Structure 1
Amino acid sequence: MKYLLLIFCCALFSAQTTIKGKLQSSDQNPLSRANIILLDKNGNIDTYALSSADGSFSMVTNSYGDFTVEINAMGHTSAKQKVSFIRKGTVIDLKTLVLEKINTKDIKEVVITRSNPIKIKKDTVEYTASKFTNGTEQNVEDLLKKLPGVTVLNDGKIKVGDKEVERVMVENDDLFERGYQTLTKNMPTKPVEKVQILKNYSKNKLLKGVEKSEGIAINLTLKEDAKDQWFGNVYLASTSYIEDMRQGKINLMNFSKRKKIYLLYNANNLGLNEMNGVSYLINPESNKTVENVGNEISTLSMLNLHQKNYSFGDERTNFNNDQLASINYIYNFKKDWKLKAVTIYNTTENRNYTDSYYRFNYGGTAFANSENKTWKQNNRNVVGKLEISKENKKSNLVFYTKFSSLNEDNDNQFIFNSVPNFQKGDNRLSALENRLVYTKKIDSSQALVAVARYIHQDRPYRFSEDNNLASIISGNPLAKIMHQELNSGLEFGGVKLSWLNNFSKDQNLQIQTGTDLRKHQLSSNLQVLDANNQALIFDHSLYQNDVDFRKNQIFNQIDYNLTWKKDWKLTAQVFNQYLWTEFNQNKKEKLSVSPSFNLSYGTFRFGTLSINASKRYSTTEVDNLYTGYIYQGNRYFKSNDLDFALMPSYNAGITYNRGDQLTRNLMLSVSYTKNENYLSSKSIINPNYSFYQSILVNDSSLFMSMLELKRYIKFIKSRISINTTYTQSDYKSSVNNQPMMKTKFSNLKTGFEMKSGFLFNFNYELGYDWNFSFVKTEMGNNNYLNQKGFVNLYYNLSKTVVSKLKYEYYKSGNSNQKNTQFLDFNLNYNSAKYKAGFFIQANNLLNTKEILTYSLDNVSESAYIQRLLPLHIVVGINKSF
């Protein structure tokens, strides 16, 4: 097998053709940063490159045939060179190409009009939108999918090469931050003139060229006739009155240099999750940039009384009724001030229907349970954010305040082994976050950044459940209902000062120091009630909590980046923290030092080889420290047998990449992680309930490897990708008072994808994955296989009519399990004259009503049946204005 893989890799790279050369001005000076574009015989862009400081360039293609190399350099005449190659692995050397300088001595005025579809500047790749559109695009996302080197994932996130885009801006203003999918999925394409890919992007303009950044952002520039004009679109879709499913959406926007306004309203019960693009506003930002203090901070969530299926898209399983209204506003004042405001109002109703079968067999205990569950949840989210900033050439100041409010109501109906149970619950979240950032640019290579941040969160829960557990845990046959109240709160305050020094283009240093304080409060109480909701006497000492946890740290971090001989790069980091903790008046002090490094070597022909190693510490938090049992619902109780602890882990890895941004053909990575101690559990499991208690266990490991191969096959004009990942982990746990049991879990996922690039009206995508899981314990071995396949067929009936047929196949568990299939069809007609698109979409044409999934662990196996949205045909219109 390994020899076959070696042969395939050799064939893969030998298939590439390299075109190289050197550019020189007529005065014999080298031409750097000139654009070199490879065009096929139809004028389509195959690949492109940028000349280096000595004028040399090199680009790689998987294609062969007749091509044109087009060269453009500022202040020089353009040049074109015909090339042709029919053998794989060809190296074409164009030698030295001379471009004539444009003489401007006797010219009073020169107007240069260029029609280059791609322009490459220092850190910017600029695409002319009109060169990549054909009138069938309904939004910016459709345009981005057609740009070379840009990939749009299923969830709307965007990648350039192998890096995820951080934000999408309009005329250099950021309206949606990390939730840019709302913009790209809704903004019309017609007003867009240019799409700029910004490499080495820094959100803070004063840190551009000072901080070591590998961030990627996209900026959309607009046509002149679209600026300071209201435009947008209206989207209306509906099924027949029998299914009664519909969607209505309106986007209204106005972009000018001084102000930008984006208004959105969306309502649907077609299964679409309207919070995907704006959910980032609810959770506090948690990153390690110099403009933030406080990591691993998230919205408090001690209970989850609702279950969603995350194995499939919302359009399959989300029985919903959602509304979303959003107002985004930016105003640029004349004197360096900027105001930014975001308001979100969202209501959701989500229902989920599952049947499950659970079988347990361990330590002399064997039983099986069946459950039918109807989950229903109503949410109301209100989020407001106000940001004010002032910026000049030497300093800037940014302040924002954000308020979040969540109301959640649950009304669930369960049938456990043919006995009805009912669960009702609600929880409320109110959160406030403030942050102030000040940046002072000392000179062109140095800057200081100071940040202060405060967060307050409060989240009470109340829920009741009617089942026989009340009488079992209380020993009172009159007990019918369990009622639990829980309150959790968080306060965080932190400050940090950072010094950045970019000594040269090859050497960069960052030093950060700061302190923060976190206060967590958690209280809970469980009662049992009779059929008339009257409280009964019950020793609930095991089911009460009153936790006060504080963690204060002083920290500093040093980041150093070094490049030498152009090919070698070193990134090193040392993070030190001194912790003071107080848990229910038990005080502790801890010191930790976390070093890490990454060393890489890379050349155009060899590729890039990187090795990395690190030592990291994680800590127990408030949800690991409460000692009384909290009822989580679903016959599940949880507590902890822990104190505050540092948990060190060691990681080492190696990664090899070969290829460039457009033709990345090979990626291989291997990593190994060793945990000195980690969180595990000891549990009591019987037919009626489960009690889980978190414990600290020594010694676990995780091995991960990944191989990705890509190749363009000329004779079928298709790109094939082969992806394989393997993970292996081991852990220990205790079940039903038995000795600690060691479990080894392994997973192998392998599959392929193919995507065509035909120039005529037909194209296709297809793929298949095999997912093998193996569980090995002292009691024996178990394994199962999940399979997934898909085929997407695209056919353009004309320039204005586009059709798509989508087929999906799933098979879960052992070989005798039932498979599940989906078939969807979409037909779009786009009218440029009326600025409208008309469509028919048929979802789940096979009317598949449910899907089965299968899983196992070291002591049990489970099968889940998920109800699906039935066959429905949607007719709609998308009108731009």
Structure 2
Amino acid sequence: MKICFNLLVCFALFSFNNSYTQNSLKGTVKDSVNQPLANVNILAEPKDSLQQIKFAITDDKGRYRLSLKSIPYTVTANYLGYAKQNFEINLKEDQVKDIVLKQSTEDLEEVVLDMPMVVKKDTITYNVNQLTSGEERKLKDILKKLPGVEVDRNGGITVNGKKVTHMLVENKKFFGGGTKLAVDNIPADAVKQVEVLDNYNEIAMLKDFQESEDMAMNIKLEEDKKDFVFGDIEAGLGNDEFYNAQSNLFYYSPKTTFNVIGNLNNVRNRVFTYDQFFSFQEGMNSIFDKGSTSFGDSYEDFSDFLEKEDVVESDRKFGAVNFTQEVNNKLNISGYGIFSKTKESTLVESTNEYNTFSEDRSIATATNNQLTMGSFNAIFTPNYKDQWHFKSQFKSADDQYSNTISSEVDTVSNLFLNDRFGEQTFFNQTVEWHRKESRTHSFSGVVDYTYDKLTPRTLWQTNDDILAGLIPIVDEPSISINQFKQTEKNQVKSILKHYWVLDRNNHIYSTIGNVNLNQTFFTEDTQELNDGSINNFGEAGFNNDFHFRLNDAFAGMFYKFRTGIFTFDQGVFVHYYRWNPDQEATSVRDKFVVLPNLTAKAEITRSKTLQLNYELKSSFSDASQFANRFYLQSYNNIFSGNTGLENTLKHDLNLRFTKSKGYRGFGIYATANYSKQVDGIVDNVNYEGINQVVTPLFIDNASETWGVGGRVSKKVSQINLQTGLRYTNTTYLQFVNAIEVENQNSNTSYNFSAKTLYNDFPILEVGWRQNFGNFTLGNNTTNFVTTQPFVNLDYDFLSGFILSADFTSYTYQNKTLDQRNSYEIANASLLYQKESSAWSFKIEAQNVFDVQFKNQNSFSSFIISDSRTFILPRIVLFSIGYNL
């Protein structure tokens, strides 16, 4: 199979049929007073309609470069506010051609759609039909071809190195604004334009008041997709009863939108994941986040239910519906509902290095998760000054998890069976008010209520000793331990903000607010004896019935001003914390905390920026960290909280530099970060063999992290070159058997790639990634090296055929133990869709080389782990699709 795959790539390479030589046309675009113009669109339209349009954008010095064939072209220079310039050219050799543009009084809207890409302040607009070939299937295929846009394997989007946080379609949120559902499901032929909106704020009147780290992407549809139902349906069958079926239906009109997405598969396609379920939250507008205290959530018990990327069995069902409706000119409503049901099995074999010994472990798991969530939002604008937002969200989870754990230390073997059942109920209600009182004064207020209840139940079964000497076990041939745990949270936030515009370059913002948090934490650990009676562990220091109450009253004042190329936004928040860890008559505690905050931004040019962010962050752990009676965390771990904990304080400093030049030209994105936890929480771990008793401690200077990274891209002729580097070093304290230990984790990674950009030939990307890890736990140091060369191919050939393939070779080496493992993962597909036909046919292969498992390593506070994760076998699917 490896030979076949290599031949496939070679076929694509030798398919290059460059019948024309390529010559360079370059020059400078200036205005009538000889000033260079940045971001001017240069189009070269061939006289032969079968040839591809060429396109470039000038950099900040007005320079452009085009690689053209030896055929006639009409070259057009387009820039908002200036008259177009046209000239004919047929290059026989490299040529320099400078262009002068004159200001125009014509309607600017008439020229916008002639430009493939328009950059204006915080907005980039891509006209898709001039940047793509028309062979794209989904939105993600389009985005991968847009300058400066990247899409990762999990559906995340970055533009010029910055993450997109809100997804819109026709200016309306798409399923709450998450990106994954959009990139995987919106048909490519429905997309007319892609807008990227930096410094995004959904409250338009507040956009200029407070700097935002949010970035939105707005998808504008083709005119023939409006007031019309469109979408696609696809179904596929394969070997060994594998299948995949999906459907997407969309309807958009000026006042109404309606979207439906469905998927059924057993080939591990991840449509919606558990971690998305936890993070999918409407809540307050981000303008209220600045200076806030972070409060921990008790989701640790639900980590077992997270969908895994690598499984040995999978069965996933997903359905979602989304709507918006303009009721009248004062009221807009929207909402969505999502349902997901997942069954999957995993198998992981690992070698775990503790401080003084090693363990061989095998874990076979099976999960059955059912997730439901819904949201309803309303925006009410009673007059030109006021705007009200009402947001309601509900989430529910019903999960089952079971695993079999085989553990061997030296010659001692143990077998454990673990069954866990989890339920979650979440509700959030937010009411926001925004008022533009006058040109100089505006107000924003919010009341936010959250209810969150988690109820995991766990059963451990074994015939071996479990936590010998640490829990009051009655010795029987078969041991069954039950745990009931419940965490319930009620939280109310109230915040009022005032914006005072002194003048265009000077603003003052003030904030007052209050957060009231009430959490309960209950655990009960018992042993069910063979005669049916119950051995309760309460008298041995187990079983929590804990109430945690906290009130955070705060006020903040910020001053923002602009001078020249610089913008400064600095201020301070003062918090008064009063909390009561109510267990065994613990007294009420209180304290004042001052949290400074600074943002400094230099806009050196329109394409070159430098930004510094500093913040002193405060956070409180959830109630489980305060509850000081024991409870079981796993078959080899007992945890006890600490009522003496306080809020942690961490200095967080980040420096970011961005520079981009021209269309698929040069771009550099560099970051440096430093953080230090001056008041922090560390683990105090006591070992007895593989068994652990863990208690959190509150100490000074708990951890320190610093790192640098960057990415550079450069277009050379029709080849796009990219390289990236990242180094991170973390030092943190830990107490092991009452001895203070300093642990360190340093990680260095780099990558480089080359990608062809020829419109007439296959898009071939060849690259290399390598990662070096150095993990030190106490006196033990372990070094890892992971190497990943990769190849990606997209090839449109003949009439209607699309070939796609990807190949990655993984080589993993543990230098300390002199271990080395390698494997190759490849996937390929061939699609045929006749032009103007609604039908499509596809054959695809996953895990072409039939790899059985993947090697990887992980690092935690206690363990360095080398593992083998088993995966699905080779899958070959034949699919038929229909576009509506």
- Shared fold (TM-score greater than 0.5)? yes
Q: How does 1:85-234 map to 2 (within 5 A)?
A: 94=99, 97-99=101-103, 101=105, 115-120=114-119, 123-213=122-212, 215-234=214-233
Greater displacement, 605-614 / 755-764: 605-614
Could you tell me how far 1:251 is from its partner in structure 2?
A: 1.4
Instruction: Report the CA distance shift for 1:201/1:611 in structure 2 as closer, same or farther (over 3 A).
Output: closer
CA distance, structure 1, for counterparts of residue 625 and residue 93 of structure 2: 62
The residue type equivalent to 2:577 in the other structure is L
Residues 329 and 342 of structure 1 are in contact (CA less than 8 Å); yes or no, is this contact kept in structure 2? yes
Residues 209 and 445 of structure 1 are in contact (CA less than 8 Å); yes or no, is this contact kept in structure 2? no
Residues 583 and 644 of structure 1 are in contact (CA less than 8 Å); yes or no, is this contact kept in structure 2? no
Deviations 1:296-350 (A, max 9, x none): 467642424727686xxx3x43732111111211110123111212112221112
CA distance, structure 2, for counterparts of residue 226 and residue 759 of structure 1: 27
1:256 aligns with 2:230: no
Instruction: Report the CA distance shift for 1:676/1:18 in structure 2 as closer, same or farther (over 3 A).
Output: farther
Could you tell me how far 1:571 is from its partner in structure 2?
A: 2.7
Residues 388 and 433 of structure 2 are in contact (CA less than 8 Å); yes or no, is this contact kept in structure 1? yes
Partner of 1:3: none
Could you tell me how far 1:705 is from its partner in structure 2?
A: 3.0
1:339 aligns with 2:333: yes
Partner of 1:588: 589
Residues 38 and 68 of structure 1 are in contact (CA less than 8 Å); yes or no, is this contact kept in structure 2? no
CA distance, structure 2, for counterparts of residue 620 and residue 765 of structure 1: 45
Q: TM-score, normalising length from structure 2?
A: 0.86
Partner of 1:384: 374
Report the count of equivalent residues.
836
Partner of 1:10: none
- SS of the aligned residue for 1:675 comes to strand
Residues 47 and 60 of structure 1 are in contact (CA less than 8 Å); yes or no, is this contact kept in structure 2? no
Partner of 1:457: 452
Deviations 1:638-695 (A, max 9, x none): 2233523132233445444443485453344333323223221221223352222211
The RMSD of aligned alpha carbons is 3.6
Partner of 1:785: 785
CA distance, structure 1, for counterparts of residue 113 and residue 479 of structure 2: 79
Partner of 2:17: none
Could you tell me how far 1:526 is from its partner in structure 2?
A: 0.7
CA distance, structure 1, for counterparts of residue 548 and residue 36 of structure 2: 59
* Runs of at least 5 residues in structure 1 that lack an aligned partner in the other structure: 1-14, 25-29, 51-56, 105-109
- SS of the aligned residue for 2:130 comes to helix
Instruction: Report the CA distance shift for 1:126/1:771 in structure 2 as closer, same or farther (over 3 A).
Output: closer
Instruction: Report the CA distance shift for 1:854/1:309 in structure 2 as closer, same or farther (over 3 A).
Output: farther
Partner of 2:479: 480
Could you tell me how far 1:194 is from its partner in structure 2?
A: 3.0
Greater displacement, 127-136 / 426-435: 127-136
Residue in structure 2 matching 1:403, options 372, 394, 397: 394
The residue type equivalent to 2:751 in the other structure is G
The residue type equivalent to 1:406 in the other structure is A
Partner of 2:677: 675
- SS of the aligned residue for 1:431 comes to strand
Instruction: Report the CA distance shift for 1:117/1:466 in structure 2 as closer, same or farther (over 3 A).
Output: same
Residues 756 and 763 of structure 2 are in contact (CA less than 8 Å); yes or no, is this contact kept in structure 1? yes
The residue type equivalent to 2:594 in the other structure is V
Deviations 1:191-250 (A, max 9, x none): 33333333443212333444444643233333333222222111212213xx21212112
Could you tell me how far 1:602 is from its partner in structure 2?
A: 4.4
The residue type equivalent to 1:830 in the other structure is Q
Q: How does 1:391-540 map to 2 (within 5 A)?
A: 391=381, 392-417=383-408, 419-444=414-439, 446-467=441-462, 468-469=464-465, 472=468, 473-478=471-476, 480-536=479-535, 538=537, 540=539
CA distance, structure 2, for counterparts of residue 865 and residue 193 of structure 1: 45
1:19 aligns with 2:9: no
1:850 aligns with 2:853: yes
The residue type equivalent to 1:772 in the other structure is F
Partner of 1:576: 574
Partner of 1:7: none
Greater displacement, 846-855 / 679-688: 679-688
Instruction: Report the CA distance shift for 1:194/1:632 in structure 2 as closer, same or farther (over 3 A).
Output: same
Instruction: Report the CA distance shift for 1:857/1:430 in structure 2 as closer, same or farther (over 3 A).
Output: closer
Residues 81 and 103 of structure 2 are in contact (CA less than 8 Å); yes or no, is this contact kept in structure 1? no
Could you tell me how far 1:848 is from its partner in structure 2?
A: 0.6
Instruction: Report the CA distance shift for 1:44/1:277 in structure 2 as closer, same or farther (over 3 A).
Output: farther
Residues 372 and 415 of structure 1 are in contact (CA less than 8 Å); yes or no, is this contact kept in structure 2? yes
Partner of 2:722: 721
The residue type equivalent to 2:820 in the other structure is Q
Instruction: Report the CA distance shift for 1:531/1:422 in structure 2 as closer, same or farther (over 3 A).
Output: farther
* Residue identity (%): 17
CA distance, structure 2, for counterparts of residue 287 and residue 853 of structure 1: 39
Residues 393 and 429 of structure 2 are in contact (CA less than 8 Å); yes or no, is this contact kept in structure 1? yes
CA distance, structure 1, for counterparts of residue 175 and residue 238 of structure 2: 31
The residue type equivalent to 1:842 in the other structure is A
Could you tell me how far 1:164 is from its partner in structure 2?
A: 2.1
Residues 64 and 662 of structure 2 are in contact (CA less than 8 Å); yes or no, is this contact kept in structure 1? no
The residue type equivalent to 1:633 in the other structure is S
* Runs of at least 5 residues in structure 2 that lack an aligned partner in the other structure: 1-23, 47-51
1:625 aligns with 2:626: yes
- SS of the aligned residue for 1:270 comes to coil
- SS of the aligned residue for 1:184 comes to helix
Instruction: Report the CA distance shift for 1:730/1:278 in structure 2 as closer, same or farther (over 3 A).
Output: closer
Could you tell me how far 1:868 is from its partner in structure 2?
A: 0.7
The residue type equivalent to 2:569 in the other structure is T
Could you tell me how far 1:390 is from its partner in structure 2?
A: 1.1
- SS of the aligned residue for 2:185 comes to coil
Greater displacement, 267-276 / 499-508: 499-508
Greater displacement, 855-864 / 837-846: 855-864
Deviations 1:592-644 (A, max 9, x none): 11112233444349944444444333333323212122212242222233523
Could you tell me how far 1:524 is from its partner in structure 2?
A: 0.6
Deviations 1:54-113 (A, max 9, x none): xxx74455766799874446686422368999999x99875x533565699xxxxx9999
Greater displacement, 852-861 / 570-579: 852-861
CA distance, structure 1, for counterparts of residue 708 and residue 561 of structure 2: 28
Greater displacement, 451-460 / 768-777: 768-777
Partner of 1:5: none
Instruction: Report the CA distance shift for 1:802/1:114 in structure 2 as closer, same or farther (over 3 A).
Output: closer
CA distance, structure 1, for counterparts of residue 321 and residue 391 of structure 2: 17
Instruction: Report the CA distance shift for 1:569/1:69 in structure 2 as closer, same or farther (over 3 A).
Output: farther
The residue type equivalent to 1:22 in the other structure is D
Partner of 1:818: 821
CA distance, structure 2, for counterparts of residue 463 and residue 539 of structure 1: 17
Residue in structure 1 matching 2:318, options 324, 345, 349: 324
CA distance, structure 2, for counterparts of residue 119 and residue 706 of structure 1: 32
CA distance, structure 1, for counterparts of residue 96 and residue 706 of structure 2: 36
Residues 175 and 330 of structure 1 are in contact (CA less than 8 Å); yes or no, is this contact kept in structure 2? no
Instruction: Report the CA distance shift for 1:309/1:684 in structure 2 as closer, same or farther (over 3 A).
Output: farther
Could you tell me how far 1:775 is from its partner in structure 2?
A: 3.3
Deviations 1:248-267 (A, max 9, x none): 11212211112111112211
Partner of 2:806: 806
Instruction: Report the CA distance shift for 1:21/1:499 in structure 2 as closer, same or farther (over 3 A).
Output: same
Q: TM-score, normalising length from structure 1?
A: 0.86
CA distance, structure 1, for counterparts of residue 171 and residue 880 of structure 2: 31
CA distance, structure 1, for counterparts of residue 218 and residue 654 of structure 2: 35
Could you tell me how far 1:157 is from its partner in structure 2?
A: 2.0
- SS of the aligned residue for 1:321 comes to strand
- SS of the aligned residue for 1:156 comes to coil
Residues 604 and 610 of structure 2 are in contact (CA less than 8 Å); yes or no, is this contact kept in structure 1? no
Could you tell me how far 1:709 is from its partner in structure 2?
A: 4.5
Q: How does 1:604-753 map to 2 (within 5 A)?
A: 604=605, 607-660=608-661, 663-712=665-714, 714=716, 717-737=718-738, 739-753=739-753
Q: How does 1:52-67 map to 2 (within 5 A)?
A: 58-60=61-63
CA distance, structure 1, for counterparts of residue 26 and residue 709 of structure 2: 23
CA distance, structure 1, for counterparts of residue 367 and residue 625 of structure 2: 27
Partner of 1:6: none
